[in-house]
Amino acid sequence: MLLENFHSFTAEGERPLASGSAASCGRGSELQARLAQARRAFSTRNVNLHCAVKLDRKAAPQAGDLVLARVLSIGHHGRLESPLGRRQQLYPGDEILVAYGNRYAPDQFEAIVPPDQRECDLVAGGGIASAMQARHARTRHPTRIQPLGLLADWNDRVVNLRDFTPPINGCLAGNRACRVIVIVGTSMNAGKTTTAAHLIHGLTQANLKVGAAKVTGTGSGGDLWAMIDAGARIALDFTDAGHATTAGLPVEQVVADAMKLVSAVSHNNDIAVIEVADGLFQEETAGLLQSPQFAGVIDQVMLAAGDAMGAAFGHAWLCRHGLPVTLIAGCVSSSPLGARETETATGLKVATLAELADAQLAPSFCFAVA
């Protein structure tokens, strides 16, 4: 199942709602009506908006804070992904509900949370407000937005995604019967999610119970739904751990949340397919893979690569850090010549999408020896 409509806030958070003044209640009702009309982003999907009763226009934003903003001009992201996956067309003047976060995307934007509520950018279709630092030459300027205020509760606490994490259950230490397959990539758009989805489909066709998680990246529903559509019995991502993105998070936090997600999707399943976003040079990706705690639960690593040279370097990097890489996949598998070069350079098989989705081959890939 996809934990898509989880709403949770504590009794402590509810009590001020009943104790507010009549004027405050009126302002809260006005804000609720305004939020109901705003275009809500996927990144906010776990938030119960009933706890938001006012706008804080002075607080310095932090990663994960929710902000009501007005669209000033349309750029690269002309649509906003809703919590249910619909791509909502944006127009100047629209009010949108998004979350602040950093962005690390070599093929699109590098962006950071700004120090105040100045004009900033929509740097991801899943709903990330940030200040662009750099962009790819083939990427348009970002959609420009004007923050109208951070959402706050009766106690003047800014509403943050961390306040609305669904209960994540499971105990990996006691569930080692579940095999953990980690899919990493040489770069952004190397084919990680496509690899994961086809592998999940092949495993489910072989009547294996599969859980899936994306433990780092930028909030977006596409990867989750690809895993669900492929047959995963449960799919979670870092937004379920309270993050709009994982860029810029302390590595210790990334590791701790990744362990929770792996534990949850391993519970009562035969195989857990875990996607780690971006490339091996990305700081949080490298830190996570080099963590003894995370590495200790990995049974196999599959590397998605864009070309043979990237595959050769990625394979060497993974081996140097003691990770059990057993298979190459991704975009390089589309080229028979590139696949042959990769197999010669790494000594590993390059699996095509058809092979990953095959009910007989997929299980054999997941029980290979590094």
Q: Which domain holds residue 130?
A: 11-164
pLDDT in tens, 313-330: 999 999 999 999 999 999
Q: How far apart are CA 107 and CA 36, in angstroms?
A: 34
Domain contains 216:
yes
Residue finishing a domain among 123, 144, 164: 164
pLDDT bucket at 177, cuts 50 / 70 / 90: confident
Answer yes or no: do 255 and 312 share one domain. Answer: yes
Checking if the pLDDT of 356 tops 70, the result is: yes
Domain contains 93:
yes
Please compute the mean of the pLDDT values over residues 347-357 and round it to a whole number: 98
Answer yes or no: do 176 and 160 share one domain. Answer: no
pLDDT bucket at 6, cuts 50 / 70 / 90: very low
Domain contains 231:
yes
Q: Biggest alpha carbon distance in the chain?
A: 74
Instruction: Check residue 239 and give its pLDDT.
Output: 95
Answer yes or no: do 335 and 359 share one domain. Answer: yes
pLDDT in tens, 43-61: 999 999 999 999 999 999 9
Instruction: Check residue 288 and give its pLDDT.
Output: 97
What is the DSSP track for 235-288? EEEGGGGT-SB-TT--HHHHHHHHHHHHHHHHTT-SEEEEE--S-TTSHHHHHH
Which region among 16-20, 27-31, 46-50, 231-235 has the lowest average model confidence (pLDDT)? 16-20
Checking if the pLDDT of 7 tops 80, the result is: no
Instruction: Check residue 145 and give its pLDDT.
Output: 98
Checking if the pLDDT of 8 tops 50, the result is: no
Instruction: Check residue 259 and give its pLDDT.
Output: 96
Query: For 315, what's the count of Cα atoms within 13 Å in the CB-facing half-sphere?
Result: 22
Please compute the mean of the pLDDT values over residues 244-269 and round it to a whole number: 96
- State the Cα angle at 237 between 314 and 44, rounded to 5°: 130
DSSP state of 46: T
Checking if the pLDDT of 172 tops 70, the result is: no
Q: Which is nearest to 51 in space by CA: 81, 18, 95, 83?
A: 18
pLDDT in tens, 132-160: 999 999 999 999 999 999 999 999 999 99
Checking if the pLDDT of 266 tops 50, the result is: yes
Q: What are the structure tokens assigned to 200, written together? A: 């999940």
pLDDT in tens, 89-127: 999 999 999 999 999 999 999 999 999 999 999 999 999
Answer yes or no: do 79 and 144 share one domain. Answer: yes
pLDDT in tens, 208-220: 999 999 999 999 9
Please compute the mean of the pLDDT values over residues 237-257 and round it to a whole number: 96
Instruction: Check residue 310 and give its pLDDT.
Output: 96
Give CA separation, 72 vs 42, 88, 123, 136, 154, in Å.
20, 16, 14, 22, 29
Per the prediction, the chain carries an average pLDDT of: 91
Helix (H) or strand (E) holding 199: helix 192-205
State pTM to two decimals: 0.89
Answer yes or no: do 144 and 292 share one domain. Answer: no
Distance of CA 256 to the CA centre of its chain: 15
pLDDT bucket at 29, cuts 50 / 70 / 90: confident
- Considering the chain, what percentage of its residues have pLDDT values greater than 90? 86
Instruction: Check residue 195 and give its pLDDT.
Output: 97
Please compute the mean of the pLDDT values over residues 317-346 and round it to a whole number: 97
Checking if the pLDDT of 170 tops 60, the result is: no
Q: What is the CATH number of the domain that holds 356?
A: 3.40.50.300
Instruction: Check residue 167 and give its pLDDT.
Output: 79
DSSP state of 143: E
Residue finishing a domain among 132, 164, 196: 164
Checking if the pLDDT of 333 tops 80, the result is: yes
Checking if the pLDDT of 163 tops 60, the result is: yes
Answer yes or no: do 134 and 202 share one domain. Answer: no
Q: How far apart are CA 73 and CA 171, in angstroms?
A: 47
Instruction: Check residue 369 and give its pLDDT.
Output: 74
Do 80 and 96 touch, CB atoms closer than 8 A? yes
Q: How many domains does the chain fold into? A: 2
Instruction: Check residue 166 and give its pLDDT.
Output: 80
Residue finishing a domain among 143, 164, 185: 164
Instruction: Check residue 15 and give its pLDDT.
Output: 31
Answer yes or no: do 362 and 317 share one domain. Answer: yes
Answer yes or no: do 258 and 222 share one domain. Answer: yes
Q: Give the CA dihedral 169, 303, 226, 259, nearest 10 degrees.
A: 10
Domain contains 313:
yes
Checking if the pLDDT of 252 tops 60, the result is: yes
Q: How far apart are CA 238 and CA 166, in angstroms?
A: 11
Answer yes or no: do 139 and 229 share one domain. Answer: no
Domain contains 4:
no
